[in-house]
Amino acid sequence: MRIFSYTNMMNVIATLSTLAEPTRLAALRILWDGGEHCVCELMERLESTQSRMSRHMGVLKSAGLVTDRRDAQWVRYRRNPNLPPATIAIVDAVIAALPGQKKKAA
């Protein structure tokens, strides 16, 4: 396993493994709207634990998918505005594959 141009292939792999976790994917989906969301909000909406949520956000962050900003006692996370198009395409496709939140039909 040394032939492919790992240099970059591994970035893709990293992105994929980051996405391949329910809580993380759900969080990213929420952040994908571009807005800011604090850990506490995500925690509530995803019925997760403080430590778990924080940890997962850390993973998303170190994968470069999201950005954080300290605002008083909160930390606001949001979708990294500088993602490479290829990465955006992947996340878009993944989120599109998720079951929608079923708005009521007309």
Rg (CA), the chain: 15
Selection from DNA, a copy of itself, none that 59 binds (CB < 5 to 8 A by kind) is: DNA
Backbone angles phi, psi at 68, to 5 degrees: -130, 160
Work out whether 34 is an interface residue with a copy of itself (CB under 8 A). Answer: no
Selection from a copy of itself, DNA, none that 35 binds (CB < 5 to 8 A by kind) is: none
Residue 105 near residue 46 (C-beta atoms within 8 A): no
Find the binder of a copy of itself among 17, 50, 55, 69 (CB under 8 A). Answer: 17
Q: What is the DSSP string of the chain?
A: ---S-HHHHHHHHHHHHHHSSHHHHHHHHHHTTS--EEHHHHHHHTT--HHHHHHHHHHHHHTTSEEEEEETTEEEEEE-TT--HHHHHHHHHHHHHSPP--PPP-
Q: Which stretch binds DNA (CB under 7 A): 2-10, 34-42, 82-90, 92-100?
A: 34-42
x-or-dash string of contact with DNA, 58-77, rule CB under 7 A: xx--------x-x-xxxx--
Binding site for DNA (CB under 7 A): 1, 17, 20-21, 23, 38-40, 43, 49-52, 54-59, 68, 70, 72-75
Binding site for a copy of itself (CB under 8 A): 1-10, 12-13, 15-17, 19-23, 25-26, 45-48, 86-87, 89-90, 92-94, 96-99
